[in-house]
Structure 1
Amino acid sequence: MKSNVVWKTNSQTQLSLLPPSYDDLVPENHPVRIVNIILDRIDIRSIENTYKGGGTSSYHPRDLLKILIYAYLRNLYSSRKIEQALGENVHFMWLSGCIRPDHNTISNFRSGKLKGKFKKIFNQVVILLAEQGYLSLKEIYVDGTKIEANANRYTFVWGKSVKTSRSRIEKQLKELWRYVETVYAEEEQRPNGPDNFEAIDPDQVSRTIDKIDQALKGKDIDKKVKQKLDYAKKNWPKNIAKYNRYEQQMGGRNSMSKTDPDATFMRMKEDHMLNGQLKPGYNLQAATNNQFIANYTLAQTTADTTTLIDHTEDFIKGYGKPPRALTADAGYGSEENYTYLHENDIDAFVKYNYFHKEQLDEKRGKQKRPFAADNLFYNNETDTYYCPMGQPMENIGSYLKKTATGYEQKINRYQAKNCAGCQLRSLCHRSKGNRIVERNHKLARLKAKAKQKLLDPEGIAHRKQRCWDVEAVFGNIKQNMNFKRFMLRGLDKVETEIGLIAMAHNLKKVSLAM
């Protein structure tokens, strides 16, 4: 060993008169200080009021809230790992003041005390950050992403399967009664049939089965029919009760998970195959500004179109007024959404389907399809379309069409007078009679207005910013924060969990900006 090497002194066994302060071990601009400062300024009386008092002392909810948010900021989502960090990590010790709540206390606070109350706390923090200039609530960028639920991927219920199974029971009940009728075919006195065979109510199904059984009592019946009747008595009423429970839990959805009934099966690409596998999950909708999350909601539908109004209403509820401008991609472009945004005086920079294709075709100089309904000449004064041959297509009536959300659209129908012998008929349409086109004039006007706004300088700027604003947030949550699957189950609980993620994301950005 070289004699000129100097080793640093190890003071492990050195006694000290005073122990070191944790405050000396935490850097001045460390994220844990940001969490502590901001949460000290937040009103949490809504949580404090849930404590009844009496008995032993309780950990203060503000302390538990600080611990949870800082844990999520550090990608710690397990209550057991948070408990461990409180005894090993200097920053957790400093933040908590050396209190040591166990994992049950942390878990119960997250899934119980915060349920339904965290959103107001989140809104307070966002307002505070907006006042400090980190983000603006006047212009928001909206998009959605799907996050896997904490549910079994293989125990699922499909709405169509429930309807098919119910219809099968109805069909078999009718077949059993037809068998009764064949048994009594040669007798003058026949039993009256059941009031109905609809397999809706378990008691009604049970009464129908009993009536069939009574009608066949004492008769020489087929052995297979007897077996089916015994099986029906034992299983069909409870199966109908189960189907009713499933339909009530789905609430109009097409699927659900048995282990988390609030979760819907959605296509996700966050797996090693990247092939869009169906997994139980929730559709996270986020409104961002300057890559800060201004608002979040969770939807149980796979499509983004039907989520925009509820998400914007939640924004208005949280901040008292709507944003001045809202930018979103083509997944949100619908007549109902455009109408809602217009009625609430929100500048909508929202794309519609085929917007990009239109721009690409124009850029390439591609000719428009002259026979497409969108490209036919329309005379607004006479309410008449003209086909490529110049033949007028007059209005032959209209009808109302309801969307999945119950919104009514008015569809007008126009028909050509005589397509027989037309040289362009094979290119124009393939129907047997004269051509009929259907047009939604309101949607066409809204699309034209949206296109004008999207192509003006302000619209172009918003479209460019949307890509790196909201999508970068999702990338940070899923990749940097490694949050790809919820820890909790049930819509109320996962809303709290995604709120903790959103606040952790915002506070981490604040710490990076300092």
Structure 2
Amino acid sequence: MPHIQGQNRHSEVQFPPTLDEYIDAENPVRFLDAFVDQLDLAALGFERATAAVEGRPGYHPGDLLKLYLYGYLNRIRSSRGLERETHRNVELMWLLKQLRPDHKTIADFRKVHSDALRGVCREFTKLCKELELFGGELVAIDGSKFVAVNSRDRNFGMAKLQAILKGVDEEIERYLKDLEQQDAEMAAVQPEKTERLHHKLERLRKRKATHEAIQAEMIAQGETQISLTDSDSRYMVGGTGTVVGYNVQTVVDAKHKLIVAHEVTNDVTDQLWLAAMALQAQEAMEVEEIEAVADRGYYDAQNVKQCVDAGMTPYVAKPPTSKNGPLGRFTKEAFTYHAQADEYECPAGERLTFRYESVEKGRLKRHYKRSASVCRACELREHCTANPAGRKISRWIDEHLLEEMRERLKANPQIMRQRREMSEHPFGTLKRGMNQGYFLCRGLTKVRGEMSLSILSYNLKRVFNILGVEAMLAGLARKKNGK
């Protein structure tokens, strides 16, 4: 039996009479086209939203925005890749009305419109709210490291620089000894070897001068590390190892795992971002009360207080930071606080009373202790403290907020598992499913605009699967008509 045969390449083909007939009703490009067309691009900050009276005509920013949204949805992010697709992709021919911008025009559009792209992402978040796609009851906050356009070899910390300079000095010393020996013994016999040693010494001295200049710049800027290709990127620990990149923060709503807020930072840890991200989510969904869950990397007393003051209920597990735990001694949790008496009760039943107050890292703390003589005579002393003055306990003035949060977590332990399912799903989709775990732009400002395109493309994919294109178009029409 013969194989399935194709058509003759030279035979005439009768195509449909219009390009529109190639695009069915559920094709995502129909929504992209309608969504961008209803945006106020000038108000969002896009240049050339209104054509200039004089000069060479430019591309409408709406067309270039449609091109990028299509590209990020379909794993095509480079400007050259997008340029190629405009020549051969039927969906893009329909979406751009057969426009074919060159790769430099495409690349420049993304570079100069960082804030505007963030605004487009917020506009789609507003649409999702109007379509009632947010639950507005529980959100998960998490961070993940995305790779920057900066190799590890072009990132330097103080310890790395000192090790490099030490190694260079040792090499220079070795070559100087070789030269000294060469001059004394056989310079006249092997002059070419002496010349090679001088060349190597010159290269080493230039290398030393380069790294000393980097070290001086780092000290002058007051930084602990410096990156040469993307100066805003930082060396940080990610989930699968270390990367030179950025720390991307997201807030995911529990109802459909949609990202309601995001931010890009070069902070190497998540600790100071709990309240900022929770407040962004609260504003985006326009809710007064919300539950926010995050992993222990976000544990920070001041951030927890900010969340509670804003009407939110935070869930963050406390990391094991006590030095006593690994030594087999009682941690602070083994002591019971009696609020009415303002005292702590130790495991031996003794009371630690208030002694004085202090301010540490901007927080007012109260300090409690028992007399040294009582502690020295205690049978549990070796399990409690090695301090000759006895065991001391400090208490933040608002520590009851942390204690209440700890009790909530004990009563609802499954919420941490739910957090993992909510927050890690979007990052996995972005990095693996959509191949967007690395940036193409350089600099924090440009990277933030690029990340907005990634977040928007993720949310678009989710909503396409949840509602379908026709339902989204209907919702867009209702929004446009103010219904």
Q: Give the alignment's TM-score, normalised by structure 1.
A: 0.71
**AA partner of residue 423 (structure 1):** E
What is the match of residue 74 of structure 2?
74
**AA partner of residue 284 (structure 1):** V
The answer as to whether partners of 1:142 and 1:288 remain within 8 angstroms in 2 is yes
What is the match of residue 178 of structure 1?
none
Q: Distance in 2 between matches of 1:26 and 1:322?
A: 43
Unaligned runs of 5+ in 2: 165-208, 322-327, 469-483
Q: Distance in 2 between matches of 1:63 and 1:287?
A: 30
Residue 373 (str. 1) matches residue 332 (str. 2) = yes
Unaligned runs of 5+ in 1: 166-233, 271-275, 356-368
**AA partner of residue 12 (structure 2):** Q
Residue 29 (str. 1) matches residue 29 (str. 2) = no
Query: Structure 1, residues 15-57: CA drift from partner, whole Å, max 9, x if none?
Result: 75x8632221122212222322322232222356633833111
Residue 504 (str. 1) matches residue 457 (str. 2) = yes
RMSD, aligned CA: 3.4
Q: Distance in 2 between matches of 1:488 and 1:107?
A: 9
Residue 282 (str. 1) matches residue 246 (str. 2) = yes
Report sequence identity in percent.
25
Q: Distance in 2 between matches of 1:155 and 1:261?
A: 10
What is the match of residue 132 of structure 1?
131
What is the match of residue 187 of structure 1?
none
1:135/1:370 Cα in 2 relative to 1: closer, same or farther (>3 Å)? same
1:257/1:317 Cα in 2 relative to 1: closer, same or farther (>3 Å)? farther
**AA partner of residue 370 (structure 2):** Q
Q: Distance in 2 between matches of 1:61 and 1:129?
A: 23
Query: Which structure 2 residues correspond to residues 133-152 of structure 1 after superposition, within 5 A?
Result: 133-137=132-136, 139-152=138-151
- 3-state SS, counterpart of residue 429 of structure 1: coil
What is the match of residue 360 of structure 2?
401
Query: Structure 1, residues 368-394: CA drift from partner, whole Å, max 9, x if none?
Result: x99433222444344333444444333
Q: Distance in 1 between matches of 2:370 and 2:318?
A: 27
- 3-state SS, counterpart of residue 325 of structure 1: strand
**AA partner of residue 246 (structure 2):** Y
**AA partner of residue 445 (structure 2):** D
Q: Distance in 2 between matches of 1:491 and 1:434?
A: 50
How far has the Cα of 1:304 moved from its partner? 1.2
**AA partner of residue 330 (structure 1):** R
Query: Structure 1, residues 263-318: CA drift from partner, whole Å, max 9, x if none?
Result: 11112354xxxxx2x32111111111212111110121122111123323444565
Q: Distance in 2 between matches of 1:388 and 1:19?
A: 84
1:242/1:123 Cα in 2 relative to 1: closer, same or farther (>3 Å)? same
Query: Structure 1, residues 177-226: CA drift from partner, whole Å, max 9, x if none?
Result: xxxxxxxxxxxxxxxxxxxxxxxxxxxxxxxxxxxxxxxxxxxxxxxxxx
Residue among 423, 426, 432 paired with 2:382: 426
The answer as to whether partners of 2:134 and 2:285 remain within 8 angstroms in 1 is no
- 3-state SS, counterpart of residue 115 of structure 2: coil
- 3-state SS, counterpart of residue 511 of structure 1: helix
The answer as to whether partners of 2:141 and 2:277 remain within 8 angstroms in 1 is no
1:449/1:473 Cα in 2 relative to 1: closer, same or farther (>3 Å)? same
Q: Give the alignment's TM-score, normalised by structure 2.
A: 0.76
1:376/1:157 Cα in 2 relative to 1: closer, same or farther (>3 Å)? same
What is the match of residue 319 of structure 2?
353
1:12/1:294 Cα in 2 relative to 1: closer, same or farther (>3 Å)? farther
> Number of residues paired by the alignment?
412
What is the match of residue 193 of structure 2?
none
1:479/1:448 Cα in 2 relative to 1: closer, same or farther (>3 Å)? same
**AA partner of residue 150 (structure 2):** A
1:422/1:469 Cα in 2 relative to 1: closer, same or farther (>3 Å)? closer
Q: Distance in 1 between matches of 2:58 and 2:123?
A: 25
The answer as to whether partners of 2:218 and 2:225 remain within 8 angstroms in 1 is no
